[in-house]
Structure 1
Amino acid sequence: MTLKIVVVEDDELLRQLLIQHLVKLGYEADGLSRWESVLSYLDKYEPALIITDARLPDANSLEHIESIATNYPVIVLTAFGSVRDAVNAIKAGAVDYILKPVSLDTLSLTVERALDNAALRKDHLFCKRQLEQSNQRSSLVGNSEALAKVRQLIEAVAPNDITVLIQGESGSGKELVARAIHAQSHRKNHNFVAIDCCTLQENLFESELFGHEKGAFTGADKQKKGLIEGAEGGTLFLDEIGEINSSGQAKLLRVLETGQYRRLGSTKDLNANVRIVAATNRDLETMSSEGGFRSDLFFRLNAFNIVMPPLRNRRDDIPELAKHFLTNHNFSTRVNKNLSSSAIRLLISYDWPGNIRELKNVIERAIILSGERQSIKPEHFAFTRTLGKSDGVVSLSFDHDPSLEELEASYLSYQLKKYSGRRAKVAQVMGISERSIYRMIKRYSLDDIKYKTN
């Protein structure tokens, strides 16, 4: 892909000279004459390098370099003898400077060096991100008042072995709370074992939790240790505890009351050296009063209660969470992505019925849909649920959980329709080359002719 360089220079003759030389070197080059044009330009394009005069008619560039230097390498053009401007430019974040009158040989070497260093920096950030991700431990992200209260409860209960019940909507981060309790407890050097009670058939819950002896039931051809033994000395996390049947409830109650259990098919009691943390998105108190859940088990589990607030009640945490998911994902992209201010505003305004899990999915899909663009914008968000009318929102509807290929094909079809089949415009919006758009059209058997208007 041809690298794009933008030259910001009010002297038209010099600007054209620099652009022609850069094109001759094999780059794509654009020219601007005023600083106010730079910000609108960066909303549409993502240049590999910015070359700007230190002083422009409408602004002192040195005062604005810091705001863009974190995302784009900047070379400053400064008048001969203006050493102070050169020093200030480097302090503000510029990667280099060139003295006027500009030597084209110096320009060539400086541009090449700046682009090489930018590529190395991008690779370094990618490797650093991958290393951080591989070493990352589950943690609660955010500094809202609501989350601060949850942290206080975690710190209070973690040192004790008391049973904890975590309540909250699906996707709100209940398991993260459980892991935080474990990480701050004296059991932190032992296993944290999680079991999703929703995913197990009724007859498998007890076998998974307690284990079984050989011959305990058809197909039990050897002894199997249960999850309680697997969590020996550590923490057993029972997610969606409200889904277990009455038989499982009775046996779990026995574990909590006596600290002992038996494998299926055995008469021998075993000691349960585990701390039990349970979670639910259901109202267990109402269920127990109506006979849908054992009241004695509920009171045992509810010895210490933590309520995880839904994401809509901690909107201050959304930008930080979104940036966290941008940094920690499983895609092999070397593009160091960021969120535009309009994208952040949209994320904050949405109510997130699926909570943190939904936010994570939206960010990961945006990483894919933004292609090679560095900045993620509102049009890269593909919400699979009904949204209110918001500028820049893309709503893609499926009657199933779509694959990434289906998502990409649907998004491409949407953009082709929106821009009447104009491949160049769609390529610009999606941040990829027009050739890539052509290949995607062929791959997904889309007919861009039908989108064209007369």
Structure 2
Amino acid sequence: MTQSDISSPEKPGNGSRRTILVIEDDMTLNRLLCGQLSEMGHAVHGVASRADAMELLGGIAPDLALLDVRLPDSSGLSFLSELREYCPVIVLTAYASINQAVEAVKEGASEYLVKPVSPARLELAISRALETMALRRDLAFWQAEAQRAARHELIGDSAALAELRRMVGLLAASDSPVLIRGESGVGKGVIAAAIHAQGPRANGRFVTVDCDPEMMESELFGKVRNGQLIEGLLAAADHGTVFLNDIEKLSGTMQSRLLRLLEKGSYRPHGSNAEIYKDARVIVSTAADLDALVTQDRFRSQLYYKLSGFALVVPPLRDRREDILPLADSLLANRSFQRGVEKSFSADARDLLLHHDWPGNIRELANAVDRGVMLSAGEAVIEPDQLGLTHRKSATGDDATAVTLRFAAPPTLDDLRDAYIAELIERLDGNRQRIATVLGISERNLYRLLKPRA
């Protein structure tokens, strides 16, 4: 039997062999085990002590460890709980003991084998340990997916949301990249997940990547370390969808690499010259004005055109007020279940929720509901002062629409313009999209107005 015969739903490493760490102080047995495992097609590292194992773990990412019960600098069982944080562990012992076996299982050992171990028995134990770990990872993933789906339904009754649902259905049938635009907190990730869930890739994974410019390259594309390929999130999204959040944060280099992926379907892990092909749909989101970033040469125009062929704009919550109360009720039902208390909003609280301006959109709404659940403690009804919103008035109210500008001397037109824009910046929390909407101009023109005058 070779490594390719081992059945596993998830292939670690480079997909053709496993990396196995052997921790055995009997060097004759150590070499024998390493030889057997190498013949099975594995990449093997043998060490004789806990200290050597910890030093090696700083440079490799094993898929499995074989651990002797007795080590020169530690008890194997006392090392087991720490080692299993890195990978599954098979415990080896020369003296079978029921109590020892029970203790090993309690500490998280995948298998408990008595030496000497035949190659067939060892390979079977390795297969079972790796398959069990893969199943546990898959279970954790699908549990998280179920929780995410419960939290992120497209809830609401507005015409805008009905149009979004229609567009999601159309885009789900395609395999093209999608650009989702909208203010922070409007639920762009929810829309991306809905597109994935309604399409032919629904049985694949939906992997979210926050575009951190420092970690992005190795996190997304993977890397080669000590000759071993450590796969990135793109590999995890094979036959599924990868969702890149805040695409505007990508460096110029990463923008080029993403464009190559979209055009050719391939990429190179960091530190490798090997071309890897992956079948993953790409959905991206941004709260930024990409048009302005392209004009400023801060975002590659080729990538922008590639992404913007299929674009969705998610309107802010204040522009779809019919969705506020259904969303709040849904959020509350979930929080009430977690608290074990069935709660509801008072009539005044519902009125406050309905007329609040929601600059933070659904994220702010969720925080307000969380605050209301916490401050109402054991009470069944949440009151307005428990939501933390009373200090902020809706932009639809008379007080919010009145503008008063004061000057020490008669102002010029430029003074009036600058003062009015400054007032809008403060009132709308610096949200350039909303400021541009109030002024009736594009965000690009707003950017020019905000530039210091010579």
Q: Place the TM-score, normalised by the shorter chain, in its bin.
A: 0.5 to 0.7
- TM-superposed CA distance for 1:281, in Å, is 0.1
Cα-Cα RMSD: 2.4
Is 1:318 the equivalent of 2:324? yes
Instruction: Describe the superposition over 1:345-371 as per-residue Cα deviations: whole angstroms up to 9, x where unpaired.
Output: 111111100000000000111011112
Equivalent residue, structure 1, for 2:164: 150
- The alpha carbon displacement at 1:382 in A equals 1.3
Contact 1:206–1:248 (Cα < 8 Å) also in 2: yes
**1:319-368 deviation digits (Å, cap 9, x = unpaired):** 10000010112874222101112111111111100000000000111011
Return the match for 1:209 from 213, 220, 225: 220
The partner residue of 1:335 within 335, 341, 344 is 341
In structure 1, the partner of 2:310 is 304
* Residue 160 of structure 2 is aligned to residue 160 of structure 1: no
Structure 1 pair 269/321, CA: closer, same or farther in 2 (3 Å)? same
Matched, 1:181 2:211: no
**1:222 Cα offset (Å):** 4.7
| Structure 1 match to 2:414 | none
Alignment of 1:62-101 (within 5 A): none
Picking from 198, 209, 214, the partner of 1:195 is: 209
Aligned to 1:309, the other structure's residue is in SS state: coil
CA distance in 1 between counterparts of 2:195 and 2:256 reads: 26
In the TM superposition, what whole-angstrom CA distance separates every residue of 1:82-126 from its partner, at most 9, and x where no partner exists?
A: xxxxxxxxxxxxxxxxxxxxxxxxxxxxxxxxxxxxxxxxxxxxx
Q: What is the CA–CA distance in structure 1 between the aligned matches of 2:147 and 2:307, rounded to whole Å?
A: 34
3-state SS of 1:278 partner = strand
1:253 maps to which residue?
Answer: 259
Paired residue type of 1:368 = M
Instruction: Say whether the 8 Å CA contact 1:259–1:273 is kept in structure 2.
Output: yes
Q: Alignment partner of 1:351: what SS?
A: coil
The number of equivalent residue pairs is 252
Tell me the SS of whatever aligns to 1:237: strand
1:140 aligns with: 154
Deviation larger for 336-345 or 325-334:
325-334
Matched, 1:223 2:229: yes
Q: Which deviates further from its counterpart, 153-162 or 368-377?
A: 368-377
How has the CA–CA distance of structure 1 residues 243 and 330 changed in structure 2, closer, same or farther, with 3 Å as cutoff? farther
Kept after mapping to 2: 8 A contact 1:352/1:359: yes
CA drift of 1:292 comes to: 1.2
Contact 2:336–2:373 at 8 Å: present in 1 too? no
Q: Which sits farther off after the overlay, 335-344 or 225-234?
A: 335-344
Give 1:178 deviation, angstroms: 0.2
In the alignment, the residues of structure 1 paired with residue 246 and residue 148 of structure 2 have an alpha-carbon distance, to the nearest angstrom, of 28
8 Å contact from structure 1 (residues 133, 328) kept in 2: no
The 1-side partners of 2:183 and 2:362 are apart by: 10
SS at match of 1:328: helix
TM-score, normalisation: structure 2:
0.53
Output the CA distance in 1 between the equivalents of 2:151 and 2:385: 32
Structure-2 separation of matches of 1:137 and 1:184 = 16
Change (3 A) 1:268 1:375: same
Deviation at 1:193, TM superposition (A): 0.3
Return the alpha-carbon distance in structure 1 between the equivalents of residues 239 and 210 of structure 2.
Answer: 20
Kept after mapping to 1: 8 A contact 2:357/2:393: no
Structure 2 residue 282 is matched with structure 1 residue 281? no
In structure 2, what residue type is equivalent to 1:154? Answer: V
Pair 1:293 & 2:307 matched: no
For 2:253 and 2:340, locate their aligned partners in 1 and report how far apart those are by CA, in whole Å.
52
1:263 to 269, 286, 300: 269
Give per-residue Cα distances to partners, 1:48-95, cap 9 Å, x unaligned. xxxxxxxxxxxxxxxxxxxxxxxxxxxxxxxxxxxxxxxxxxxxxxxx
Amino acid at match of 1:305: A
User: Taking structure 1 as reference, are residues 134 and 194 closer, same or farther at Cα in structure 2, changes over 3 Å only?
Assistant: closer
CA spacing shift, 1:270–1:388, aligned 2, 3 Å? closer
> In 1, are the aligned partners of 2:182 and 2:316 still within 8 Å (CA)?
yes
- Structure 1: runs of 5 or more not aligned: 1-131, 216-220, 391-454
Deviation at 1:301, TM superposition (A): 1.0
Which residue of structure 2 lines up, in the alignment, with residue 51 of structure 1?
none
Residue 384 of structure 2 contacts residue 390 of structure 2 at CA under 8 Å; is this kept in 1?
Answer: no
**Where does residue 364 of structure 1 map in the other structure?**
370
Q: CA deviation at 1:265?
A: 1.1
CA contact (8 A) 1:158 1:182 kept: yes
Q: Distance in 2 between matches of 1:274 and 1:207?
A: 17
Give the letter aligned to residue 247 of structure 2: I
Report how far residue 273 of structure 1 moved: 0.4
Aligned to 1:452: none
- Equivalent residue, structure 2, for 1:23: none
Shift of the alpha carbon at 1:383? 3.3
| Contact residue 322 and residue 359 of structure 1 kept, 8 A | yes
Distance 1:137 1:171, change over 3 A: closer
Q: Distance in 2 between the 1:225 and 1:262 partners?
A: 11
The equivalent position to 1:242 in structure 2, one of 224, 241, 248, is 248
The one-letter code of the counterpart of 1:210 is F
> Which contiguous aligned blocks of 4+ residues in structure 1 show a shift greater than 3 angstroms?
132-135, 383-390
